[in-house]
Each structure stands twice: as C-alpha cells, then as structure tokens.
Amino acid sequence: MAEASRWHLGGTPKHKLRYREDVEIRTTLQELLLYSIFLINLCILTFGMVNPHMYYLNKVMSSLFLDTSVAGEERTNFKSIRSITDFWKFMEGPLLDGLYWDSWYNNENLYDLKSSRIYYENILLGLPRVRQLKVRNGTCKVHAFFRSLMDECYDKYTSKNEDMADFGLKQHTEWKYSSPHMNSPWHWGFAGVYRDGGYIFTLSKSKSETLNKFINLRMNSWITRGTRVIFIDFSVYNANVNLFCIIRLVAEFPATGGILTSWQFYSVKLLRYVSFYDYFIASCEIIFCIFIIVFTIQEIKKLKEFKFAYFKSIWNWLELLLLVLCFLTVFFSLYSNMKIYHMLGQLLRNTEKYSDFYFLAYWHIYYNNIIAITIFFAWIKIFKFISFNKTMSQLSSTLSRSLNINVIIFFQFTQFRIVLGDFNFAGIQQANRILGPIYFITFIFFVFFVLLNMFLAIINDTYSEVKADYSIGRRPDFQLGKMIKKVRITENKDLAEKARREGFDEKEIQSAEQMKKWKERLEKKYYSTEIQDDYQTVTQQEFRDLFLYAVELEKELHYVSLKLNRVMRKVSALQY
C-alpha cells in the first residue's frame, strides 16, 4: 500500500507531478512578468506619441475655419454652407481672414513676415491650394418624357465619369486639367471616393490678390453643374509645441443638388526626435523591436513542438495576431519616417508652391491607428493569466458559458437603443470614416455585453439564494395566508349550520363535505404551488378516491338537477 500510494495516474510518481506543476507555474509567472514589461513599454510608446497640445491646436484651427461666420450673416459659416452662393461668401470672407494675418492686432508689423502666421503662432507652410473635380455631361440618361425640358445629365463622381477637358477661360491651371499623382491617397467623402488631380490653383501670398482671384473665378463660373467636389488644402506649423496641423476643407456637390461639407484636421508630430523625452520614446521603440524578436522565437518553438495542435488554442491565434500587428507597426513606422525625412526638407524649401503635407500626415495617422489596434489586442491577452485569480476565472467561465443567450439579448437591446437614437455616431464617423464605425460597434458590443452579463448574474445569484432559503425551510411567515385559511374553515362550518337550518338533510351535507374533501386532496396533489415536480405518479388509493368522486359527482348532478329551483332560492342566503 505504501508503494502504491507513491504512484498516481497510471504509474506517475506524485513528486514528479508536483515538480511538473511547479515548473508550469514558474514558467507561467516568468511569461507573465515578461509580458507585463512588454505591455508597459507598449503603453509608453503609444501614449508617448500623443500630445495634449494636439487637441488644442485642432480646436483653435477648427473654430477659426469652421465656426467663423460671414460678416453680416451670423448663420453662414463653413458648416452651414448649402448653396454655391454661400460657398463663395465663405471663400471671400472667413477663409481669407483666417489664412492671412499680415499684422498685429494694432496694425503693427511685429514680424518680418515671409509667410502668414495664423493666430501669430502658426506658420503657414507654402501656399494653400484649391482643387476641383468634375464629371462630364452625358454620364447619365434623361428619360424621354423630360428631354424637352432638360438635355444635360451629370452623374455622380467616379473615375470613369470624371471630366478631363479644359473649360471656361482655358488660360491658367484652374481651367486646365492636371493629372493625378500615382501615390496620392484617395479621399473618402459622403457622396463618393475622390482621387488626386483635377482643376487646381494655388493662392497668393497677398490677401488682395487672392480676393481678386476668387472674384474672377466666381464671375466666370468656375463652379459648374458638373462640379462634384472642391478641396481646400493647407498646412501650418507651431514651433512652440513642435506640431504640424494639416487641414483639409471639403465641399461636395452631389448629383441631388446642394452642398455637403466635411473637414479634416490632423495635428501630427513629424519631427519626432527633438527633446530628451523624444529620445526616451526612441529607446522604447528599440525595446519594442527586441520583444518582437523574442516573441517570434517563442512562437516558432511552440509551433515546432505542438505542430497542428498549436492552432487549437485561441490564445495561440491571439499571439499570431499580435505578432502580425507588431510587424505592421514596425513597417508603418519605418516607412513613414523614411518618407518624412525624404520629403520634409523639399516641402519646406518650396515656399512659393503648395506643400503637400497631407501625404505625410496620411501615413502617420495610419501608423497611429495600427499601434492603437495593437495595444487593444495586447490588453486582451492579459486575460490569459486570469487563472491565478479565482474571481476573474469565475467571471471568465460565466461569460463564456452564457455567451449564446447573452449575444441574442445584447443585439435586441442594442437595436432598441439605436432606434431611440441614443448615440452620437455622426461625430465618431466624422473623426474617422473607417475606424470610427469599428470603434463604435466594438465598444457597444463589449461594454453592453459585459454589463448585461453582470446584471443577469446578479439576478440569477439572488434568485439562487432565495431558492436555497426556501429549500431549507427558511420562509417568510405567511400570517395573512394562515388567517385566510382560518376564515375559510370558519365559513365552511357556518355554511353547514346554515344548510341544516334551511332544511337540508344530513345525508346531503355529508355527501357535499365528502366531495369537497376529495376535491381538496386532488387539488393539493396536482395543483399545489408548493410541489416543485411537474409530474407525479398516481397511487391505487388515489385512483379509487378519484373514481368514487366521479361516481358520486354524477349522482349529485342528477340530484341537484331535480332540486335546482330549491337550491337557487337558497344561494343568496348561503353567500351572505
């Protein structure tokens, strides 16, 4: 027996099992410690790129160019543009006033200005650019019934419908088509997806010359029925906070008529390594790359060891996803940095032309987006180690087991909230056309899924406690119910005495009392709320009582039918 007790589970010694458990726990703790360092480093790397001044720079710029009203018309600003007339009023009013800050507030030339300084602190880089895309006439068909009224038809914008012919005065670049650049990103608007190129002109450094340019374009109908979108692009740099703000104002002219306005304000840190804190972030980036190499080696070893069984674990799939996201993060970082250092010097030297910083901001924003997704999934992996905590392990098991029913409840509840309009989806979509909806759906799913599970868990736990108290006899004292039963017994005795006084014989009274007893016994057996089982067997005695009750009931029905008139006269007396 002593020898047998030393062996466990098919001949494995207990001390070897204990040793394996200790090794597994030690290995898991080491993995948790290493991953915690990686997570802290990733958080520093992510939030180190975020500057509080980005929000304030976006706020002041958006307030200047979006909320400033036309002189004499308080309700007309860029957000409220609905017609071509409103658009030209904005171009000749708030846009010019916002772009050209030639002097101090007391008309004193404080700086030797080589370019405008918006709010006296933000240097306008290069010259602003205005770009238009058009569609050709005849890209759609007019119905035969209306051809006598309208013979022109301009469809929505697509690259196939785009008009590339010169028009108007045909003298300058604003009247001649410019081919798009191959590497320029497309713009995703409300009414279409627009590519680069089109009819382009840059503004002058002089405010008066720019105003005359706008008046000339307006008088010569630069905006036509074929116009589908106009872009206003410019960039500023604030040396105080080392931030670039790339601004794009968009006015779409859909085929339905009217104007849809949208905007983009990207405050980015293109010059990344300036202060000591920036170099600290650079060291975190190096550590991040080292972690990627270490984790890649670990996953390769696991894959060689477990082979196809490796893919059966959801945590292994999460590891692979994290590695892919980490490699994408490194790729975007290297590509954006190379583009920045290659193009930034050229853009800053071209002060007499439009400096296209939008391309640099585009890739920088993609880098920020990919690292945000990476840190999201990195925090999800932390649930892999919740087995060390009993409460979190129970919560995880509860959520996983109740997944099916709660997904159904969640979608019903969320659809009801959407019908009520209890969300600000427009603002989220305006921030980012792709990640905004993804963030909205993901946030709603996880938050409400967890909250609903917690609510149902509390209700279920409370119900279980009450049910357990009832099972051990710990029930409320139903004094009112007992009183009602006593009253009913008293009333039954009083009814029997009244029946005797009214002339009923003892045989009739005893038969009625016997039938009532049989009825109460059967109701208690089959209709009692205290009995929890849905199905109960019938004994021979109970079957005999049920048969006698049915026979006696048939006799009584026949007897009652003969004395119906007598009974009807006595009903009132028996009830009162």
Confidence tier at 2 by pLDDT (50, 70, 90): very low
One domain for residues 218 and 120: yes
- DSSP, residue by residue, 38-90: HHHHHHHHHHHT--HHHHHHHHHHHHHHHSPPBTTBTT-SGGG--SHHHHHHH
Amino acid symbol at 566: R
pLDDT for 94: 93
* Domain-embedded: residue 166: yes
Mean pLDDT of all residues in 408-433: 57
- The whole-angstrom separation of Cα 473 and Cα 459 is 21
Give the end of a domain, one of 268, 289, 305. 268
Q: What is the 3-state secondary structure (H, E, C) of 361-390?
A: HHHHHHHHHHHHHHHHHHHHHHHHHHHHCH
One domain for residues 464 and 486: no
Q: What letter does residue 178 receive in the DSSP assignment?
A: B
pLDDT for 90: 94
With a CB cutoff of 8 Å and minimum separation 6, the contacts of 120 are 101, 104, 110
Residue pLDDT, tens place only, 324-377:
999 998 988 888 888 788 777 777 777 788 888 888 888 888 888 888 889 888
Residue pLDDT, tens place only, 37-88:
999 999 988 888 788 899 899 999 999 999 999 888 777 899 999 999 999 9
Name residue, tokens 């003298």. 171
* Domain-embedded: residue 558: no
Q: What are phi and psi of 156, to 5 degrees?
A: -65, 165
Mean pLDDT of all residues in 274-303: 90
One domain for residues 468 and 515: no
One domain for residues 443 and 508: no
Model-wide pTM > 0.75? no
Give the end of a domain, one of 226, 251, 268. 268
**Residue 480 reports pLDDT greater than 60:** no
Better-predicted residue by pLDDT, 525 or 192: 192
Q: What is the 3-state secondary structure (H, E, C) of 500-525?
A: HHCCCCHHHHHHHHHHHHHHHHHHHH
Domain that holds residue 246: 52-268
- The whole-angstrom separation of Cα 165 and Cα 35 is 59
**Residue 532 reports pLDDT greater than 50:** no
Give the end of a domain, one of 488, 503, 526. 526
Of 186, 90, 169, nearest to 133 (Cα)? Answer: 186
Q: What letter does residue 533 receive in the DSSP assignment?
A: -
* Domain-embedded: residue 533: no
* Domain-embedded: residue 22: no
pLDDT for 516: 65
Q: What is the 3-state secondary structure (H, E, C) of 220-257?
A: CCCCCCCEEEEEEEEEEEECCCCEEEEEEEEEECCCCC
Give the chain's mean pLDDT: 77
Residue pLDDT, tens place only, 185-218:
888 888 899 999 999 999 988 889 999 999 999 9
One domain for residues 153 and 107: yes
How many other C-beta atoms can be found within 10 angstroms of the C-beta atom of residue 233?
22
One domain for residues 59 and 182: yes
pLDDT for 12: 53
Name residue, tokens 């290069």. 126
* Domain-embedded: residue 406: yes
Name which of 149-158, 159-168, 538-547 the model is least confident about.
538-547
* Domain-embedded: residue 332: no
pLDDT for 460: 75
One domain for residues 173 and 63: yes
Cα torsion for 344, 347, 351, 356, to the nearest 10°? Answer: -120
- The whole-angstrom separation of Cα 270 and Cα 336 is 9
